[in-house]
Amino acid sequence: MDVSDSGLDLISNIIRKTLKIDCAVLMGANIAHDVAQEQFCEATIGTLDTHVYIACICVYTVCLSAYI
């Protein structure tokens, strides 16, 4: 999150505006630590594009199936 004189703005919005590309967000409490420790973790995918959402689900499913 970025704070400026005009108010709050999400980092994903800043990336979208600056680079003029769509931006998906993966968020979760302590997700970086859990992933680094190869532990189960929960996350939320945030995107405005349904195709990107489906692609993210497929990528994470394939990557996670390697650990099963």
Closest by Cα among 62, 65, 52 to 26: 52
Task: Assign 4 to helix, strand or coil.
Answer: strand
Domain range holding 39? Answer: 2-65
Return the amino acid letter for 53. Y
Query: What is residue 3's DSSP assignment?
Result: E
Distance (Å, whole) CA 2 – CA 11: 6
Closest by Cα among 36, 43, 46 to 15: 46
Per-residue pLDDT tens for 19-65? Answer: 998 888 877 777 778 778 877 777 788 888 888 888 888 887 777 66
Residues in CB range of 31: below 8 A, 6 or more apart: 41, 43
For the chain, the domain total comes to: 1
Can you tell me the mean pLDDT for 6-13?
84
